Amino acid sequence: MQFLLALIVVGPLLGAAAALLPAPPGLKGKSPDQAVLRHGVTVTGVILLAAIVLALGFDHDQPSRMQATTDISWIHALDVRIHLGVDGISLPLLVLTALLSFLCALYSYFKQQHQRLTPRASGPSPKGFVALLLVLESGTLATFAVLDLVLFFLAFEMVLIPMYFLIARWGGEGRQAAAWKFILYTLLGSVVMLLGLLLIGVKAGTFDMVALATDNGRGLTTSVQVIAVLAIGIGLAVKTPMWPLHSWLPDAHTAAPTVGSVLLAGVLLKMGTYGFVRILLPITPDGMRTFAPYLAAFAVAGIIYGSLACLALARPGNKGDLKRLIAYSSVGHMGFVLLGIATMTPTGVNGALFANVAHGLVTGLLFFLVGAIKDRYGTADLDTLAGATGAALYGRAPRLGALLAFAAVASLGLPGLAGFWGEMLALFGAFEPAEGLSRPAFLTFTAIGAFGTLLTAAYLLLVVRRVCMGGPRPAGETPIADVQGYEFAAWTPLVALTVLAGLWPAVLLGLTDPAVQKLLAGGTQ
């Protein structure tokens, strides 16, 4: 187990280095490009297999205990340690990251057979694409596995450069501006976050996250906790993203290639909310209690803002981009995650963690589908797609239309699918917030959040009507291809897990709940 976790974190980095080397003659296949893309599938497949074995070997009777731990002294003078471990909170995110990375690599490899993956004239070769994808996977996996504040910061920052180049080199129109906006927002937020992490480490005398969580803020004064929550929270809120620090996200998603959007929505956004749960809730509880009402207020503002922005984009005549619409929907969905965290209750935090995983599955699928529609039509502009009567995907590409409708109803929180449980538990948590928080204020937030679910249903159903329904194909119009085999292989796991998580939520909640109970109690349970 120890070796498996180390392999999961370090393996993609080794694979990235190998991707930049010349392929052995016997492994080149039809072309060097094909060989390096196949290498990406192999490495991410091995990491996914290791993550599944780790999950199967995980002691499910004690999900609150850190397992598969490694604890080695690294920088002795600062007491910085290479400390790794997983519990019921981090394990689902670890497996989700490994799964989405593998599906993205698989999708890219087979897509090359149909539509050659060519870089921009000034960009790197597919070797660079695969290497960046693997570095991005390694940084994300490390964020969910490290248990030292300094290592957490390094892993948190490790993903920025590969995502920047994925957007800047393989993105669409406006890619350079979107990439710069992404990197500047996240770097500025991270500088402030680093100051907060160093403040905790210096004042508490350790950077070890397990020891700090067990201490539960007793070694930190209230003023130190308040400053630390403000500083760290800004950095985490940018990555989440929380309204009004979200404006980099729609541009990044609109310009990013399909796999970049899938990974950005599916796993990178989770790093911010994971930091709130792993660091701020257990280590600075008094500071979190001070800021919880403000966090909840920003969360519900994001829910309403994201939904209204999506409604505006979905209306005919507004030239709304479908990728941009899904990006704004993420602002609303992550608002429910932040609302659950702000309640500081087991119910709310479990809902936040469940919504994290559900959003990764459903929004990852949505971006895959929107990418497929853009490949077929050459645009993601809703007005162009729908025309006068609708895009009529049900009639022209019925499987693609059915999958888009499925992902939309999963995203709006239909009972029986993954999107339902996280949002419901977050609202339940807000209905009964933790002791010391204003119940009237949180009841107001509950009502606003519930209204946001209605707005979410409105814009997603409008999208389904405009894209999936419509009149017959005009005579002479070129038919579009339905779901291809490689697309079916990449999307089926996400569909299956969305249904599984919706029908058997106890599979995930059974992992997270004991760990959340222990975390909120300061390791005393």
In tens, the pLDDT along 158-212 reads 898 899 988 888 877 888 888 888 888 888 888 899 999 999 988 888 888 888 8
- For the chain, the maximum distance between any two Cα atoms, rounded to a whole number of angstroms, is 75
Looking at residue 117, its pLDDT comes to: 43
Question: Nearest-CA neighbor of 63 among 22, 36, 43, 92?
Answer: 92
The answer to whether 349 and 276 have CB atoms below 8 angstroms apart is no
Contacts of 471 (CB under 8 A, 6+ apart): 389, 390, 392
The answer to whether 44 and 134 have CB atoms below 8 angstroms apart is yes
Looking at residue 430, its pLDDT comes to: 92
Question: Nearest-CA neighbor of 445 among 345, 307, 320, 302?
Answer: 302
Looking at residue 119, its pLDDT comes to: 42
**Quick check: 26 pLDDT over 70?**
no
Lowest mean pLDDT among 17-31, 102-116, 462-476: 17-31
The answer to whether 127 and 36 have CB atoms below 8 angstroms apart is yes
Contacts of 477 (CB under 8 A, 6+ apart): none
Three-class secondary structure assignment of 283-333 = HCHHHHHHHHHHHHHHHHHHHHHHHHHHHHHHCCCCCCEHHHHHHHHHHHH
The answer to whether 150 and 90 have CB atoms below 8 angstroms apart is no
CA 94 vs CA 9, 14, 40, 394: distances in Å: 10, 18, 18, 36
In tens, the pLDDT along 51-85 reads 999 999 888 888 888 888 888 888 887 778 888 99
The answer to whether 126 and 58 have CB atoms below 8 angstroms apart is no
**Quick check: 523 pLDDT over 60?**
no
Looking at residue 214, its pLDDT comes to: 87
**Quick check: 224 pLDDT over 60?**
yes
pLDDT band for position 27 (50/70/90)? low
Looking at residue 473, its pLDDT comes to: 60
Phi, psi of 71 (to 5 degrees): -140, 100
- Mean pLDDT calculated for residue range 298-308: 93
CA distance 199 to 178: 32
| Chain mean pLDDT for the chain | 86
**Quick check: 475 pLDDT over 60?**
no
Question: Nearest-CA neighbor of 359 among 452, 256, 274, 266?
Answer: 266
What tokens were used for 405? 């409708």
Cis amide linkage into residue 244, ω under 30° from 0:
yes
pLDDT band for position 120 (50/70/90)? very low
**Quick check: 516 pLDDT over 50?**
yes
> Which residues face 67 on adjacent strands?
86
- Mean pLDDT calculated for residue range 131-135: 92
DSSP state of 72: E
Looking at residue 349, its pLDDT comes to: 94
pLDDT band for position 472 (50/70/90)? low
**Quick check: 480 pLDDT over 70?**
yes
CA distance 127 to 44: 15
What tokens were used for 385? 């797609």
Q: Return the number of other C-beta atoms located less than 10 Å from residue 198's C-beta.
A: 17
pLDDT band for position 30 (50/70/90)? low
CA distance 277 to 152: 13
Query: Higher model confidence: residue 403 or residue 33?
Result: 403
CA distance 376 to 477: 13
- Mean pLDDT calculated for residue range 343-356: 93
Looking at residue 175, its pLDDT comes to: 83
> Which residues face 71 on adjacent strands?
83
CA distance 304 to 407: 21
What tokens were used for 75? 């920088």
Report the residue count for the chain.
Answer: 525
3 state DSSP class of 67: strand
The answer to whether 180 and 52 have CB atoms below 8 angstroms apart is no
CA neighbours within 13 Å on the CB side: how many for 379? 12
In tens, the pLDDT along 375-385 reads 888 888 888 88
Q: Return the number of other C-beta atoms located less than 10 Å from residue 497's C-beta.
A: 21
Looking at residue 318, its pLDDT comes to: 78
> What H or E segment, with its residue span, contains residue 496?
helix 485-503
CA distance 141 to 122: 30
CA distance 283 to 72: 22
- Mean pLDDT calculated for residue range 452-458: 92
Helix axes 346-377, 398-411, angle to 10 degrees: 160
Q: Return the number of other C-beta atoms located less than 10 Å from residue 440's C-beta.
A: 7
How much of the chain, in percent, has pLDDT values that exceed 90?
44
Secondary structure tally for the chain: helices H, strands E: 23, 2
In tens, the pLDDT along 233-282 reads 999 998 888 888 888 888 888 888 888 889 988 888 899 999 999 999 99
Question: Nearest-CA neighbor of 333 among 380, 271, 276, 270?
Answer: 270
